[in-house]
Amino acid sequence: MSTWKNWSGLESATPERVLTPADADEVADAVREAAEAGRTVKMVGTGHSFTSISAPEGIMLRPDALTGITSIDRDAMTVTALSGTPLHVLNAELERLGLSLHNMGDIAEQTLAGATSTGTHGTGGVKASLSAQLAGLRLVTGDGSIVDASREENPDIFAAARIGLGALGVITHLTFEVEPLGLLEAHEQPMGWDEALARHDEFVTGNHHCDMYWFPHTDRMQVKTNNRLDPETATAEPLGRVRGWVDDDFLSNTLFGVVNRVGNAAPGLVPRINEVSGRLLSERRYSDVPHKVFTSPRRVVFKEMEYAVPREVGLDVLREARALIDRNDWRIGFPVEVRTTPADDITLGTSSGRESIYLAFHVHHRADHRAYFAGVEAILKAAGGRPHWGKVHTRTAADLGSVYPRFEEFLAVRDRLDPDRVFANSYLRRVLGD
Ligand SMILES: Cc1cc2nc3c(=O)[nH]c(=O)nc-3n(C[C@H](O)[C@H](O)[C@H](O)COP(=O)(O)OP(=O)(O)OC[C@H]3O[C@@H](n4cnc5c(N)ncnc54)[C@H](O)[C@@H]3O)c2cc1C
């Protein structure tokens, strides 16, 4: 019997049956078989969600045979790929074709459907989530029908299924808007807490992308801004192979892993460790193709909670979270990440209809996250926060409706596409209801 486990090790499940469909017809057959037998069916990604959102109960569909680009439209500047394609594979293929996505998050291990279904996002830009960069999709609905959706065709399904939580059907194809491959320059600079917060608006409006990291128990922030370079005049200056490995992989994975083990064994040392970690980060600039600037490997396993709050209250919420950490005896070894996104028009998008600041809280996978996450979540919730669908949170259908003005619209699309709840699991029952 096969067991499913997520990346952080926090969630696991044992499906009744595992299938690996290779095209939309095989997906449709699996969905019909599940529906007729009264079973549920769930397509999983790579399990990078921290929640049980992809935990299979009946039939588990693996994404491995649904990979690769299926078409390129250079006039429309769109690329269609199969839904199980890992993001790093799409990025490498696009680079070979002289193309790129506009924006992405911190890693590129996820599948395209897994990442879009939970609203995976980066920071800044004109579009921040992968879902907001979609031009179309194809999905198999609860009765095994194959449906196409875009702004022109089935627009209500398109609005909902771009962040569909796996509740509306099994996506087989995703069409992304792409842009010509360019260069992105990263500028990383250490800064004090007061200065970084005072200049946050300036960094966000004056750069294409801005990301900040605060080291708990210290006054240290790391500010990273990314900007597009003029392709006529710029040449890439990537992190050298050795320097890049020493700076990035060694500091953010190898050394960080050791430091976290020390911190777990001796929590009293965490403030000092964070101070030293903050000092080790120096100012630097480098440039490369976008996906190599946006993403990097994460080998130290952690647990994460992230919320989107309205942009105008975001920094006050961060200050409140810091005050809470300062008042408690928790020892937090991971930085708090601060990102900003424009509003989008996706039914259950965490940035739907409002510009947002995302605040992400992490702990080592062996550390106890419960008191820290619960304390911070109360602050985020009071600020009208919306939890990332793929990250730890405790919200339910009863209280999510109040922060999503289009919640009922999503439920109505779900009732139409999956009236018998073939795609349900315990997470969906909690956040959407039965
Ligand atoms: C180290 C790390 C870094 C991360 N960085 C970021 C970040 O920078 N920004 C951010 O926003 N998030 C980030 N995340 C969260 C991550 O991007 C999301 O949780 C994402 O959903 C994971 O994709 P996956 O392929 O692992 O999907 P899974 O977690 O396996 O599945 C997620 C959902 O997608 C559904 N799904 C999968 N395939 C299909 C399909 N074909 N059709 C319909 N539904 C489908 C599943 O059923 C489930 O509901 C990070 C996570 C980790 C572990």
User: Where residue 304 sits, what CATH number does that domain have?
Assistant: 3.40.462.10
Residue 251: per-residue pLDDT = 61
Residue 268: per-residue pLDDT = 76
In a domain, 333, yes or no: yes
Residue 1: per-residue pLDDT = 65
Q: Indicate the SS3 state at residue 107.
A: coil
What does the block give as tokens for 340?
């900003």
Q: Model confidence over 208-222: pLDDT tens digits?
A: 999 999 999 999 999
Residue 173: per-residue pLDDT = 98
In a domain, 350, yes or no: yes
- Indicate which residue's Cα is closest to atom 5 of ligand 1: 106
Name the pLDDT band for 260 (thresholds 50, 70, 90). Answer: low
The count of other CB atoms within 10 Å of the CB of residue 407 is 17
Q: Model confidence over 51-70: pLDDT tens digits?
A: 999 999 999 999 999 999 99
In a domain, 194, yes or no: yes
The tally of domains found in the chain comes to 1
- Indicate which residue's Cα is closest to atom 31 of ligand 1: 114
Q: Distances in Å between the alpha carbon of 415 and those of 141, 278, 296, 350, 412?
A: 11, 49, 39, 21, 5
Give backbone dihedrals phi and psi of 391, rounded to 5 degrees, phi first: -125, 160
Name the pLDDT band for 380 (thresholds 50, 70, 90). Answer: very high
CA of 390, closest atom in ligand 1: 19
The radius of gyration computed from the CA coordinates of the chain, to the nearest angstrom, equals 21
Residue 281: per-residue pLDDT = 74
* Cα 137 to ligand 1 centre (Å): 17
User: Containing domain of residue 317, as a range?
Assistant: 184-387
Average pLDDT of span 125-150: 98
b/e map 367-386, b = 16+ CB within 10 Å: bebeebbebbbebbbebebb
CA distance 332 to 263: 9
Contact (Cβ atoms closer than 8 angstroms) between residue 165 and residue 259: no
* Cα 125 to ligand 1 centre (Å): 21
Average pLDDT of span 24-49: 97
Write down the H helix ranges in 215-356: 241-244, 256-265, 270-280, 290-294, 311-327
- Indicate which residue's Cα is closest to atom 11 of ligand 1: 120
In a domain, 280, yes or no: yes
CA of 121, closest atom in ligand 1: 11
* Cα 153 to ligand 1 centre (Å): 26
In a domain, 263, yes or no: yes
Residue 62 is classified by DSSP as: P
In a domain, 212, yes or no: yes
In a domain, 137, yes or no: no
* Cα 9 to ligand 1 centre (Å): 14
The count of other CB atoms within 10 Å of the CB of residue 89 is 17
Residue 242: per-residue pLDDT = 47
Residue 360: per-residue pLDDT = 98
In a domain, 353, yes or no: yes
What does the block give as tokens for 138?
């194809």
Residue 24: per-residue pLDDT = 97
Answer whether 0.85 is exceeded by the pTM.
Answer: yes
Mean pLDDT, the chain, integer: 94
CA distance 87 to 45: 11
What does the block give as tokens for 129?
């989530």
Q: Which of 8, 90, 110 to mutate to test the pocket of ligand 1 (most atoms within 8 A of CB)?
A: 110
Does 226 score more than 90 pLDDT?
yes
Give the binding-site residues of ligand 1, using a 6 Å CB cut-off: 7, 42-49, 53-54, 63, 83, 105-107, 110-111, 113-115, 117-118, 120-121, 165-166, 170-171, 298, 388, 390
Residue 344 is classified by DSSP as: B
Indicate the range of 150-159, 280-289, 392-401 predicted with least confidence. Answer: 280-289
* Cα 54 to ligand 1 centre (Å): 9
CA of 358, closest atom in ligand 1: 11
- DSSP E strands in 193-229: the ranges are 209-214, 220-228
- Indicate which residue's Cα is closest to atom 3 of ligand 1: 107
Q: Indicate the SS3 state at residue 225.
A: strand
CA of 83, closest atom in ligand 1: 41
Does 255 score more than 70 pLDDT?
no
Average pLDDT of span 129-134: 98
Instruction: Give percent of the chain with pLDDT exceeding 90.
Output: 85
* Cα 84 to ligand 1 centre (Å): 11
* Cα 152 to ligand 1 centre (Å): 27
CA of 139, closest atom in ligand 1: 42
